[in-house]
Amino acid sequence: MARQIRHHEHENHDRWLISYADFITLLFAFFVVMYAISSVNENKYKIFSASLTSAFSKQIVKSDASDSAGRPDWLLKSLVDRRNAKLVEQRQKAMQDIAKKINQVMDALVKNGQVSVMETNRGVAVEINASALFKEGDATLQGGAINTLIAVAKVLKPVDLAIEVEGHTDDIPISNPLFPSNWELSSARASSVVRLFIGQGLMPKYLKAIGSAANYPVMSNDTAGGRARNRRITVTILSPLSEEATLEQTTQAPKALPIE
C-alpha cells in the first residue's frame, strides 16, 4: 500500500481578533452602564431632594417628643439640668448688667450715700433715701430727683421685667388732712415714683406701688440717723427666676383642709 502523506494544517494566527472583539464589546457595555448610572436626572433629583427634606423636617419637629421616650432618664435629666443652668447663668448676667447701668446713672447719689444698689435673691434692689426725692412729710418728687429717676427709667424701659416700688417711713406718726398716717405717706411716695416711670414709657402692668409705713426698718428708730435711714424708697427689679417662683406659688391649687 502506498503511504499516505499527512498534510500539516496551517495555524490561524488571527484567532485573537475574536477574543479582542469580545473584550472591546464588553468594555463598551461596561462604560455605557457606568455612564447611565452616573448621569443624574435633574428633575428626579429635585423631587428626591424635596422628599428627603420634607421627611427629615417632620422628624426634627417630632424629635423633642420622641427623644424623651428613647433616652434613659438620667441622660434626659442631665440635658435638662444643663439647659436650665445655662438659662440661669444668662439671667444672672442680665440682672448684673441692669445693676451696673443703674449704678452708673445714679453715681453721684451712690457716692454721697443716698442710694445703694444691691443684688438680692429677688433681683436688683435700688434703695433711695427719701430726702433725695421728697421734702419732709411730702410725696411730691423734687426737681433733681425727677432727672435721676428719668435716667433710671431709661435703663428699665427695655427689660420688660416686673418692678416693685415700696415706700418706707420711720416710726414717728404723721397726721394731717393729706396723710392721716404713715401708711398713706409711704403709699403716696411709692405711687409718685410709679407714675413717673409710667410717664417715661414703662408698662403699667409691670409696675406695683407698695406702702409699708414703718414696718420694715433697716436701722433702729431710736436715733435721728437711724430714722433718716429708714425713710426710703426701694425699687426692686424682679429677676425672671423670682417671678417664675412667685407665679408658681400663686397658681398652685390651695390644699383642702380636712373636715372633722
Tens digits of per-residue pLDDT, 98-108?
Answer: 999 999 999 98
Show the domains of the chain with their CATH numbers: 91-247 (3.30.1330.60)
- pLDDT per residue over 188-198, tens digit each? 999 999 999 99
- pLDDT per residue over 29-62, tens digit each? 777 777 766 655 566 556 656 665 665 555 444 4
Give the Cα separation of 260 and 258 in Å (integer): 6
Global pTM reads 0.63
Taking only Cα atoms into account, the Rg of the chain, rounded to an integer number of angstroms, comes to: 42
> Per-residue b/e over 14-44, b at no fewer than 16 CB within 10 Å?
eeeeeeeeeeeeeeeeeeeeeeeeeeeeeee
- pLDDT per residue over 108-136, tens digit each? 899 989 999 998 888 999 999 999 999 99
Give the Cα separation of 90 and 79 in Å (integer): 17
Name every residue whose Cβ is closer than 8 Å to that of residue 126 and which is 6 or more positions away in sequence: 102, 106, 115, 116, 117, 118, 152, 234, 235, 236, 237
Give the Cα separation of 216 and 183 in Å (integer): 12
Looking up cell 436701722 gives: 219
pLDDT at position 62 is: 46
pLDDT at position 169 is: 96
- pLDDT per residue over 141-165, tens digit each? 998 889 989 999 999 999 889 999 9
Q: What are phi and psi of 149, to 5 degrees?
A: -70, -30
Among 9-13, 35-39, 86-90, 160-164, which stretch is predicted with the lowest mean pLDDT? 9-13
